[in-house]
Structure formats: C-alpha cells, structure tokens
Amino acid sequence: MPAEEVARLLETHADRGLDTSSIEERMGRFGANRITAQKGEPAWLRFLKQFAQPLVVILLAASGITILLKEWVDGLVIFGVVLVNAIIGFVQESRALKAIDALSRSIVSTATVLRSGHKESIDASGLVPGDIVFLQSGDRASADMRLLSAKNLAADESALTGESVPSVKNVGVLAETTALADRVNMVYSGSFVASRSGAGIVVATGDSTEIGRINKLISETDVLETPLTQKIAPFSHVILYAILALAGATFAIGMLRGEAAVDMFMASVALAVGAIPEGLPAALTITLAIGVSRMARRNTIIRRLPAVETLGSTTVICSDKTGTLTQNQMTVRLVHTPAGDYEVTGSGYDSKTGQITRDSQAVAAKDDAALAAVLRTGLICSDTRIKETDDGFKVEGDPTDAALLVSAAKGGVTADDYRVFDTIPFESEHQYMAVLAGQDSPEGSRTLFVKGSLEAIQARCGAATGNGGGSGASDADRSQKAAADMARQGLRVLAFAQKSMPDNTQTIAKKDLEGGFEFVGIQGMFDPPRPEAIRAIATCCRAGIRVKMITGDHAVTAEAIASQMGVGCRGAQAGSGVSVLSSADLEGLSDEELVRAAEATDVFARVTPEQKLRLRCLIHYSKFSKPCK
C-alpha cells in the first residue's frame, strides 16, 4: 500500500503522530513491544526432571526395594549415586540458563518517536502500532515499520535475511508477493540503520514482528532427541525386561525346587538389584559434564548435558554464512581500470593488513594515475567512518563505503586536498551517488565524482582515464567483461567516473549527471571468509563430517563463498562445483524430494526461516521414519 494509506488505516498522522489516549488504548490492546519469552521452568521442576530417565527410575526402584528389605547401606548408596547424578545435571543446566539470561538482559533499546506533534525518546517497549519513529545511522529498529521517508537510508538486516550488504530503502509500493529480503520499503525489528536517516510508521510490535514470528516458530518446534538419549531409552527397557525376566525365572525355579517363597523372593530381589548398572547414569553424567566444561572454556554455552554428545555423533553441519563463515566486513578484492587490472590483498577494515598489486608486484597510487583516480573517486563518494576500538574496527555507515575507504588507504590515496561542496545521495531508482568536491576555496577547481552500478555509470561516460592520467576512448565491452568476471566470483561491483566542473560551482543538480564523464574504473568487493572457518571446514571434512551452507543471501554470492571455503567437502577453490538450491527451488519440492535434495545439496540460498525449520525437521525425522512435526 502507499504509505499514506497505511497511516490512514492505522489512524495516525505523519506530521504529529499519536495522541496520549490513542497510545494508552493501543498499549492495552497490543501489549508492550516485547517478544514473549519462553516460560521458564521453576528450579524444583528442573531438579525433578533430572530423575526422569529410564535408568534412574530403575535405580530409584531398586533403592526403595533394598531399603524395604532393610539393606540400609546398599539402598542408601544406590540413592546417593542417583542424587549426585541429579545434582551435577541440575547445576550445569542452571549455570547455562544464568549465562543466557545475562545475555538477554544486556540488550536495551530506545526509540525516537513523534507523539502529539513533539519528538521524544522512549523505551522501545512502549512502541505501539501507528507510532511515527525517526531513524538515524546507528539506530536499532525496535519494531516493524513501513517507511514514510528515506534519505539514502540503508539498513543492515543480516540477522533476519543473511544479507551481508545493507539494504537500500525507499518508500515506493511493492508487489504483495515480494520476498522478505527484497521489501525495501520496510525496516524490521532487530535491524540496524547503516547510513543516513528516515522515518517510519510502526505496523507490528512484539510477537507480531518478523523476529517475533521466528521466535514463535522456534518455541513450537519439537526438542530433538540426541543420539545418546535415543539409545539409552530402549537400552534401559531391555535391561528392565531382562532383569524382571531373570528375577521371575529365579523365583519360579526356586519354588519348583521346593524352596521357601520368602527366601526365593529375597534372592530374586537381590539378583535384580545386583544386575542394575547403578554406576552407568553417574558415569554418563560426569562424562557429559566434563565435555560441557571444556566447551565453556571455549566460550560455548551448552544448556542441556546430552547436547554435548551430539558433537561426537555429527555427520552433517548446517551453517549460516554472514558473520559465521564470513567476517561480515566488506573488502575490496579486485580493481579494474582502463589501464589494467589489480588485486587487493588483506581482508577486513585494517588497511595495514594488505596492499594493491599488479602482476604480483606491489603498486602505489602515486605512481599509477589510473589506479589513483578510481581509488580517489571511491574515497570521496563515501560518507562513512571507520573507528578503531579495543574490540576491533567499528563502521559508522555503510560497510560498502567502508571497503572503499580501506582500498584507498591500501593504495596510499587521501582526500585531504578536497572539500565536499554538494552531494546527490544514492537512490535505488537512479543507481548512482554523486559528489561535487574540489580545492577548499570559492574559486578553486571543481570535480564531479560519481559511483554506482556499471550500467548507470557507463551510460554517462564517453571517455576513460588511461595510465598517464589522460583520457582515451572508453572500452565498454572490456569493462563489462571485467564486471561479469567479478560477479561470477560473488563480488559486488561498483563503477566510478568523474568530470571537471566550472571553477565557481557550488551546487549540482541531476542534469549535471546526464553525460560528459570519464570512466575511471570498477571495484569488486565481498564479505571475505573467516580463515579459521576455512580451517574448521577442512577439519570437519577430514573427520567425515559434511558442511552445508544455509543462508538468506543471494545464490551467486553464497556459491562463490562456498567454493572458496570448501563447503560440501569438495575442496576450497573457485569453481569446485558446489550444488545450490534457492528458496524457489525448495518451495516446489515435496517432503520426500526435499530429503533427497538435502543430501545432495551443498548450499541453500535465499531461504526463509520457515524453510530452515522445515529442512531441520525433515532431515532429522527421515532417519527415524517419523512424521515431521
């Protein structure tokens, strides 16, 4: 719907927001803007559940019978083993729950809203549908919002969609069938504003948000049994039936031989108690607790003891991509100019970790005018900052622009001699951003720098910058081939151009971008893999464990990253032939077809949260011939 129609249906006003009475009524109707936490179990119930294991129940029965027979020492020893076993499990689970609770309580959020015509900052839990919320770079969205305005607004939605590149937003109307990751007129709860500003109208809060819906899906999903618990339950029943059969046979044979009934009953009970492996539950619990403690030393929280055993039974690992297998730090990898092609080494936002090379030789921009031109244009066409903190590098703005800043630094390019006079922000419908910059004086020279999609930039160019800094005929075909090669490697491509402006120019308009530009080059960037993740995948492959990637990112990007990391255990190299399925492919598969496809597929791209849960459920239950719940 148009934004104005959304405001009308929600009975709010973009120029003054909701009034006090409306806020109170909606708070009563929709509740606080919080995701409902799964109801925790009281401590006494969690403790009692430690006894709800088949072997432990047998031991408790044995302990009770032994005490009734006045074998006090044996009965108390068996009960003591069971009690110690329960205490170890309870303590470990309590520690994990406290750690998880501490993490959740550390997240505090506020929102700037328009109410009764006045801006105010409130606790995000007080947001209601119809609130008008203002967004600035660095803000965390606390509800699902339909955008009313977007000034070059971009949002990092990687937590929801898997996209490593922020989504550029606008206020246009979209088709009702538009996929979640492509809904550019929405900002979702849990996403972060990467650049610029905007305003939106709250359309969903709490459990009604997309993040709340995922939380509900997870809470309703069956808790899957681990291989150990699956084996212990039937093993316990076998032991129980065998002991009862032996005890019964002993009693029957004794009676046939003329023995006293009381003596044979005592003998049968003694046999049953002696046959019960009372040390097994304690041994299992202590072994699992040791494993959990080792994982804790590696900063991994495991809530339930049996879960650690699944690590030893793993045959397939399904991993997310963004921030898990990759660094979530955009990095320029290749640079193309009319004078030649360059490689950029290093990764992340530390410019000291890499350099720019051509034919394996280090190149400095001061000695290469063509390289300097493309790096300088990328540097000037950026309003992002990178700060070095104790925890690493923090980006204030768009990660794509941050990658351009780092590549310029690696080439030794600065913009100290340039002052920005005017800017035309990036707009998705135009596919470019333009910056007027020049010497810091009213009569100084002026240059119009532009960056954007290759198609948008080439349409405005008639010349290209050569190695000597002069202009030559633009080789559009060569640039298009270079961009296509970068795209096949999963790189995001940005093109750059520039043109001289009159010395006294102070402002620019869109008519200034209609033509006359010199094409200066292309930069190709991507979110690089984590080196430790590549080593981990190789280790898994050597151990016979296949690694699959499940991500909301684009198929081409996911396939390129998977090939470089060795996902699917096919070797870490480009073009290693990983198999890919997209969300559209998954939708058309039946349960049986999906199980077969899951075995053969290495990368699942553009998948939705529901599809992730469907994959998890089907793959698990297919091994036990059970219906997927």
Active site members: 320
* Contact between residue 329 and residue 384 where contact means Cβ atoms under 8 Å apart: no
Q: HSE on the CB side for 394, CA within 13 Å?
A: 7
Cα dihedral: 572, 322, 578, 564 (round 10): -20
Report how many helices (DSSP H) and strands (DSSP E) the chain contains, helices first.
Answer: 19, 24
Are 533 and 564 within 8 A, CB to CB?
A: no
**DSSP symbol at 569:** S
Residue with tokens 């990658």: 403
**Element at 333 (helix H, strand E):** strand 331-337
Q: What are phi and psi of 507, to 5 degrees?
A: -135, 165
Distance CA 416, CA 412 (A): 12
Handedness of CA 178, 179, 181, 186 (dihedral sign): positive
CA distance 612 to 551: 9
Q: What is the dihedral of CA 121, 127, 129, 131, to 10 degrees?
A: -10
Which residue carries 């002026």 as its tokens? 446
Euclidean distance between CA atoms 384 and 386, whole angstroms: 7
Burial 457-484 (b: 16+ CB within 10 A, else e): bbbbbebbbbeeeeeeebeeeebeebbe
Q: Dig out the tokens for 412 from the structure.
A: 């030794």
Closest listed residue to residue 127, CA positions, set 258, 39, 27, 266: 27
Residues ≥6 apart with Cβ < 8 Å to 101 = none
Q: Rounded to the nearest 5 degrees, what angle is found at the Cα of 528, between the Cα atoms of 526 and 533?
A: 150
The rounded radius of gyration (Å) of the Cα atoms in the chain is 32
